[in-house]
Amino acid sequence: MRLPRALCTFEITQPLLQAGEVSHALDLCFQHHHYEALDQIAEDLHEGSSPEMTQRVADYFMEKGLFDKAMEMLVRTKKMDEALNLCTLHSVPLTEELVEKISIPKKDDG
């Protein structure tokens, strides 16, 4: 049974997020296929977020054919080989921001 769209919008998941229940908010979005709310939550995930949660979002994006978003999630979890493989297999365009995140920092010779 799917909830009406209004019941799983970002506005509804916001209290869960504010309470630190990101996993629960994601569960609702996955369960009821609410991409809009999931997309917004995914934008707020960062390097300090749970790698399992970020991987779960990446897997979901891959299942839905949203390879550019999946690649961003993989880069956030430092899975550079997987991200580059995804880019190659699905012709994901590289943004300047993603290239910077994927690049190995230069060592100072000083």
d(CA 12, CA 32): 13
Residue 77, C-beta contacts closer than 8 angstroms, at least 6 positions apart? 51, 54, 55, 58
Q: How many CB atoms lie within 10 A of CB 73?
A: 26
Question: pLDDT by residue (tens digit) across 64-100?
Answer: 899 998 998 888 888 888 988 998 999 988 888 888 8
Average pLDDT of the chain is 80
Q: Which range has highest mean pLDDT (9-13, 57-61, 103-107)?
A: 57-61
- In this structure, what is the dihedral angle of CA atoms 47, 50, 56, 60, given to the nearest 10 degrees? -40
Q: How much is the pLDDT for 17?
A: 76
d(CA 28, CA 13): 8
